[in-house]
Structure formats: structure tokens, C-alpha cells
Amino acid sequence: MKVQVNTDRNIQGDERLEEYVEQVLADTLGRFADQLTRVVVHLSDANAGKAGDDDKRCMMEARIAGRRPTAIAHQAGTVREAINGAADKIERVLDKELGKLGH
């Protein structure tokens, strides 16, 4: 499973952030690794650096081999909370989708 991390101009994208995202996805989606070809993660700050509740957004798109991509989004107060929330959501969605296929 390949992981691609994209950030907007308001979120500092660096190696530590990419490693964090990869670790979270390995922990939550590792059991789906054989079925997933790629997970694309988009991180953004809705308020462009201004203070605000739940202004960090994480959109994840999971690409399942031979199927259409599945996408979800989660907003939270910090980037890490947004990543964790999105990973939990996409795990539940993949559980349902792949469960129906008998995987």
C-alpha cells in the first residue's frame, strides 16, 4: 500500500508528518494492505492559520485494486486529531465495503 501525503500552503508538510501518517495508516489499515494500492491523504487548514475550532481537515482516498476509490473527510482541532479521525472513518468504510465482497 503506497501512501501519498499532500498539504495546503497553511500546513507544514515534512518528513515527520509523512512518517506519522504512514504509521497511523499501517496501524489502522494494515490488514487491508493486500487490497489497497494507494491511500492519498490531503491535509488543509480551513482558517488559514487563524484560531478556530475544528479547522484542520483531513481527506483520505483509499484506492482498492479493481474498484472505485473510497473517500472520506474528518475535521478536528489539530492536524493529528484530523488524521486519526479520518483513519478511523476510512477503516469503518473499508470494513463494510470489503466485508460485502467477502475479503
41-76 pLDDT, tens digit per residue, is: 999 998 775 666 778 999 999 998 888 999 999 999
77 has a pLDDT exceeding 70: yes
Q: Are 6 and 12 in contact (CB under 8 A)?
A: no
pLDDT confidence of 81, banded at 50, 70, 90? very high
In whole angstroms, give the CA distance from residue 39 to residue 63. Answer: 6
Q: Which pTM was predicted?
A: 0.90
Residues 24-48 have a mean pLDDT of 92
Residues 69-85 have a mean pLDDT of 95
Q: Are 61 and 70 in contact (CB under 8 A)?
A: yes
Average confidence score pLDDT of the chain? 90
20 has a pLDDT exceeding 90: yes
Give the ranges where the chain is alpha helix by DSSP (H). Answer: 15-29, 79-100
Residues 92-98 have a mean pLDDT of 91
